[in-house]
Amino acid sequence: DIVMTQSPDSLAVSLGEGATINCKSSQSVLYSSDNKNYLAWYQQKPGQPPRLLISWASTRESGVPDRFTGSGSGTDFTLTIGSLQAEDVAVYYCHQYFGIPLTFGGGTKVEIK
């Protein structure tokens, strides 16, 4: 199984400041045949299902604010929130869809400082 390890478990950021969430996979999720990283990021607010923010490690989904940026390749990935807004308070998960079983990171809780 590909183990996804996120860090930190939680972070508190002042409004307008940046936030960085890390995700490390136990093996590469870069598929050589198409040169794509099979890695997604989701946002989950209380009482709601996860919402897809980023796919293929860096492709922002339609409607996602451009303050959300995904980066990285191979085994190390980052989700950056450029300027934290109040509505960004949530838990963020990384997800690898490279291999079965599909697996998720443990989540990072983002709060306002």
Closest separation in Å from C-beta 49 to other proteins: 4
- Alpha helix stretches (DSSP H) within 58-97: none
Q: Which is nearer to other proteins, 16 or 49 (by Cβ)?
A: 49
Closest separation in Å from C-beta 16 to other proteins: 29
In DSSP terms, 111 is beta-bridged to 12
Closest separation in Å from C-beta 90 to other proteins: 14
Contacting positions for other proteins (CB under 8 A) = 38, 40, 42, 48-52, 55-56, 61, 93, 95, 97-98, 100-107
Count CA within 13 A, CB hemisphere, residue 2: 26
Q: Residue 30 is encoded by which pair of tokens?
A: 């870069």
Query: What is the distance between the terminal CA atoms of the chain, rounded to a whole angstrom?
Result: 36
